[in-house]
A and B are shown apart, each in its own frame.
Chain A
């Protein structure tokens, strides 16, 4: 008797809990100012309405968040929403663990997202899988004080001009004219995209899982060889050649005069150098038409296996994050950029675009909004996170003299192709959406 009544009480409890089961979790990977801004967004959302509650849980990094999500998904304890970074897009698309945002909210006008932000996260058929969140892209930074020392008026727009400027900087006594970490996001992905060159066949993998890397020939190979030669000449420095040990730090401390970096680095650079910081779109090689750069940062994914009430909450939260005010507030704290046309229009209308908090927006969005090409939609390649490490490892060996740059790129291609084949095997029978 007692037992049954206890059971029914339990059942009632469970039932009532199910009715308001609109408490969802959102896992994110940012730390620092990004984390502050995300928590602020969550608090604002929870304060603004009573129907849903979202618990935003920091995971320390994108990688940890993903790893925990994998373990959690395998044991059925995963969050409804998870933020994940650009390079893992295909891994998530094929995981069978996510629900495309366009399917979750078909009524939303997803075309409001600017081209460069959309194409990275949509299928070859044009269906958006995740909602772009903290958007960044590659831009070019210069330290006006150092550049003026060498009599350089404007930031170089081409690599040829850049090499020239670097030589003059050296003559003027600047030991580190241009600094980069040679990370593939900068020297491979963004470089190829804005030059309209694919890094892999099958439209960078958008056309099928049987893609193969192609970056080891042509302009990309030439560019990396140039970087190598320029480093020998003393025009280019890598992380490990700088006292600071890190390219953004080396730029911020005034050790180096120029760098290419994410729009997200602007905040710290401005804090350190003030209005000595100048930005522009990343340089091109002469004779190439400029295409859009890729969106960096991360997007928000909806995970499968939750009830309708949770998805209702997820919709509300995604709508909230997408709102113009939210995007602008997020940009103000972090230096990431608004990526919908309406938010950009609102920014313009409110006359905020001139404020230093939004200094990267015209350049960054301008760069994202260039005409698209087959090479600039995004990167749709499997185990791409692992490939980035391989690329770094092989090119680092070339930079430090262990092998020639061409050999490094050939090996990276070979190892990368092996990864792609294994990815294909792992998802045998799964169709690329």
Chain B
């Protein structure tokens, strides 16, 4: 930050105030309130709320379905962001080769960004409908081959496919921009040294792409969680048998459908902590491998 130019005391604060106010009201205050409720037992209609210490946490952490939901959430975060970043990386590497298709691809790969996660859900749940969708003919030959309504694995497969589809644009843009910023001379120098394309990918492109990869992974992890709600609500509703009841969805149904404000707030606190830990771990372990120098 070297660009400080104007000297004024009050003005910058006035300039920041609107955003800080909005952030305080709709970002920090909800966090504070979640912590408050997590330590209270709150009557839905506000009749009374009593301080209960860690009782809510003991209850939540002691329940099996919370843990299975938390495990599923963590696995989903890792696998969903991994699969979508991986796909986008492969596509970006291919598009970076300045082929005839690259131009069209660069435009079309952004299109999924226009489709809301819930819309994707509505669309894919129809396309993958075991009796009315694409798999219907196969299901007639082998009954039960594909049924995401009863088979948890199929349900997850459906979620992942929809998630990859929707997550391509953002990662693709960032990664392609990163690849294109790698100077041609480096490639040439590598080629002169006798490094083949695979070798150059490993030794030049990927290392120089680490800043973008890092950003994309960090943001995809958060995005896969927030996008999961729209997908789950329109595709599986947490089923079959609670298999896809990820924490984001569980908190919603506990709080909004079952009036369990304290339980939902407690799980909110735990989920936020989980995301914070995952993000922190990424900074600790991934950022070290990031090379910012070019």
Contact = CB atoms under 8 A, between A and B. Distances in A.
Is chain B found bound to chain A in the same assembly? yes
Interface of A: 63, 66-67, 70, 73-74, 91, 95-97, 239-245, 383, 385-386, 389, 393-394, 396-397, 399-400, 402, 415, 418, 422, 425-428, 430
Given A386-B257, A389-B258, A418-B59, A70 B45 contact: yes
Interface string B233-266: 0000011111001000000011011111011000
Nearest to B151: A400
A402 B241 contact: yes
Given A393-B242, A396-B240, A95 B45 contact: yes
A386 B260 contact: yes
B203 interface: no
A415 B152 CA distance: 22
A385 B258 contact: yes
B226 interface: no
Contacts of A385: 257-259
Contact of A73 (B45, B52, B65, B253): B45
Contacts of A383: 258-260
Nearest to B46: A74
B150 interface: yes
Contacts of B50: 428
A426 B59 CA distance: 13
A397 B238 CA distance: 12
Given A73-B46, A393-B239, 20 more contacts: A67-B256, A67-B257, A73-B45, A91-B259, A96-B43, A97-B45, A97-B47, A240-B147, A389-B257, A394-B241, A396-B241, A396-B242, A397-B240, A397-B242, A400-B241, A402-B241, A418-B59, A418-B63, A425-B52, A430-B47
Interface string B134-178: 000000000000010111100000000000000000000000000
A427 B43 contact: yes
Contact of B245 (A73, A97, A393, A425): A393
Contact of A240 (B43, B150, B242, B258): B150
Nearest to A97: B45
B260 to A, nearest CB: 6
Nearest to A243: B131
B41 interface: yes
A245 B148 CA distance: 12
B30 interface: no
A425 B41 contact: yes
B44 interface: yes
21 contacts: A67-B257, A70-B46, A74-B45, A95-B45, A97-B45, A97-B47, A245-B131, A245-B149, A383-B258, A385-B258, A385-B259, A386-B258, A393-B65, A393-B239, A397-B240, A400-B150, A402-B152, A402-B241, A415-B65, A422-B41, A422-B260
B242 to A, nearest CB: 4
A383 B257 CA distance: 10
